[in-house]
Structure 1
Amino acid sequence: MSPATAINESSDVRARILATGQRIMGGKGFSAVGLNEVLTAAGVPKGSFYHYFGSKDAFGEALLEDYFEDYLADMDRTLRQAGGPVAARLENYFQAWRDNQSFHDCQGKCLAVKLGAEVADLSEVMRASLRRGTTGIIRYLAEAIQAGVADGSLSVDEPAADVAQSLYQLWLGASVMVKIVRNTEPFDKAMATTRQVLKLPA
């Protein structure tokens, strides 16, 4: 086996462990899932785990970093690269949030919502990863809001950064409430508030 092939296989195994962990922990939480469950589902021997991750916390940090990298790439496609007015792109973003982060199995797409409150008090490295990731999301939202003001498709009364933070916190809270009440009414209210804040037509 050539060195390049070995590196590619190693990268594939690491990616498979992360993808499997994201799917399982996105459904059950971080503490409730043992490494054996993840590795068995991924088809990876337990002894191989520590070749890629130094500890469960290190795995959790890598899991979140991988999740936010993909999430921000999706935001980039939705908010920066898609055509049409920015207001429509923002609506599409929040509609996708509603679709992905429901009270049904989110297949790992709601990892920040699922793990946020749980791991912030358990692991400093994971809390820091969550902070970096959520800061990136808020920055993307702020840039989109600024662009929407510039193209005239939306209007805000406060600085874009403040509006972005408030909207992110609104939707994060709505995601938790959706899981509690087991219906999508919190998302309906979050969308109505978002439209009001951005001065979008009903």
Structure 2
Amino acid sequence: MRAKLVEAGVLTFSKAGFNGCSVQDITEAAGVPKGSFYNHFESKEALGAAALEHYWADGSCETLKILDERAGSPKGRLKQYFEDSLVAMSEKDFTCGCLIGNMAAEQSDHSPVIAAQLSAIFANWSRRIGACIRQAQEAGEIQSTTDAEMLATFVLNAWEGALQRARIEKGERPLRQFIDVLFTQLLH
């Protein structure tokens, strides 16, 4: 039942936002009695943190696997990661976005529990992007000698901003601009 609630939390938070849904909405989506919610979670906030952890481990982390591959060009893998992410957003008609970005915008000021989970996710995400950038630097594909971790953090921050703009504009232009500038100006 806990797993059902976590899955329903991911879906409900993604569609309605954390503040846009109730525990009742989540239990209905999970198909479980509302009273059983508190047998598994002390609060909606605790479910929010668990939903983020699950989303990262189950979905978002999966898309990052291309960065970890050793075959092919590291810079090419990095570009493919962002291109694939652009396609995924396009398939959702630039709605919903990434649960991680959504929760960061909505809850980071209000929930220390969720903020801590988000901080850990962003640190891991940056490390994975940074490892790919470092490999590209070592292979001579990226000329910049700027610290790969710092570049990765900047890249991730810019990507999240571009995602927000794409959702606002309901189109790929901000994401396409991000990819173009990243690979023709910053990581050349």
Give the alignment's TM-score, normalised by structure 2. 0.90
The alignment status of 1:110 with 2:98, answered yes or no, reads yes
Matching residue's letter, 1:104: D
> What does residue 198 of structure 1 align with?
187
What is the match of residue 20 of structure 1?
8
| Structure 1 residue corresponding to 2:17, chosen from 12, 15, 29 | 29
* Residue 75 of structure 2 is aligned to residue 87 of structure 1: yes
Counterpart of 1:120, as a letter, is S
Q: How many residues align?
A: 185
Correspondence list, 1:1-202, <5 A: 13-70=1-58, 71-75=60-64, 77-81=65-69, 83-102=71-90, 104=93, 110-195=98-183, 196-199=185-188
> Is the 2:137–2:143 contact (alpha carbons within 8 Å) kept by the matching residues of 1?
yes
Q: Following TM superposition, by how much is the alpha carbon of 1:83 offset from its aligned partner in structure 2, in angstroms?
A: 2.4
CA distance in 1, matches of 2:61, 2:134: 18
Q: Write the letter of the residue equivalent to 2:11.
A: R
TM-fit CA distance, 1:124:
0.9
Aligned to 1:5: none
Identical-residue share of aligned pairs (%): 29
Distance in structure 2 (CA, Å) of the matches to 1:30 and 1:105: 19
How much does 1:116 deviate? Answer: 1.1
Q: Indicate conservation of the 8 Å contact 1:112/1:130, yes or no.
A: yes
Closer, same or farther: CA 59–132 of 1 in aligned 2, 3 Å: same
Measured after TM superposition, the shift of residue 172 of structure 1 is 0.5
Query: Any unmatched runs of 5+ in structure 2?
Result: none
In 2, Cα distance between equivalents of 1:114 and 1:100: 16
Change in CA separation of 1:105 and 1:45 when aligned onto 2, cut-off 3 Å: farther
Q: Residue 14 of structure 1 contacts residue 52 of structure 1 at CA under 8 Å; is this kept in 2?
A: yes
Deviation, structure 1 residue 56: 0.7
The unaligned stretches of length 5 or more in structure 1 are 1-12
Q: Within 2, Cα distance between the matches of 1:177 and 1:167?
A: 15
The answer to whether the 8 Å contact 1:148/1:154 transfers is yes
| Partner Cα separation in structure 2 for residue 132 and residue 101 of structure 1 | 23
After superposition, what is the alpha-carbon deviation per residue over 1:35-69, rounded to whole angstroms, capped at 9, x for unaligned? 11111111111121112111111111111111222
Sort the Cα spacing of 1:101 and 1:130 in 2 relative to 1 into closer, same or farther, 3 A: farther
TM-score, normalised to structure 1, is 0.84
